[in-house]
Amino acid sequence: MKNITGQITDIETDGVLGRCNQSTSGTKQLLIDSIFWGKANLTEKEYVIFHELGHCALNRRHLDATNTDGTCISMMQSGNGSCKMIYNAQNRRKYLDELFSQ
């Protein structure tokens, strides 16, 4: 996970809470929206950080597959798919296991 920096900043795109930018030199920058960060609880912050690190550190793409109950199979969901993302203390381990299983 070297060459990854992080910053809390204004992200102008509506609905985007975080982003992973990669420069041509290979350095990656994890950006988190400052308005989201100021309002989010610890679980919400953790989810967004892990999701963006999935992009930056693990090179994961979005995955919008659903479980039979309509919840997302992966925390790498796009937010534009048909699955419902529920991340909490009860299912945290399941989502983290899936994140690192790819």
Cβ atoms within 10 Å of 80's Cβ, excluding its own: 8
The structural architecture, per CATH, of the domain 1-59 is 2-Layer Sandwich (3.30)
Number of Cβ within 10 Å of residue 44's Cβ equals 14
The answer to whether 32 touches 52, Cβ cutoff 8 Å, is yes
Q: Report the run of H or E that residue 20 belongs to, with start and end.
A: strand 18-22
Beta bridge partners of 22: 28
How confident is residue 80, by pLDDT bands cut at 50, 70 and 90?
confident
Q: What is the pLDDT of residue 6?
A: 94
Residues of the chain with CATH 3.30.2010.20: 1-59
Whole-structure pTM over 0.95, yes or no?
no
The string of pLDDT tens digits covering residues 6-64 is 999 999 998 899 999 988 888 899 999 999 999 999 999 999 999 999 999 999 999 99
Judge whether residue 102 has pLDDT over 80.
no
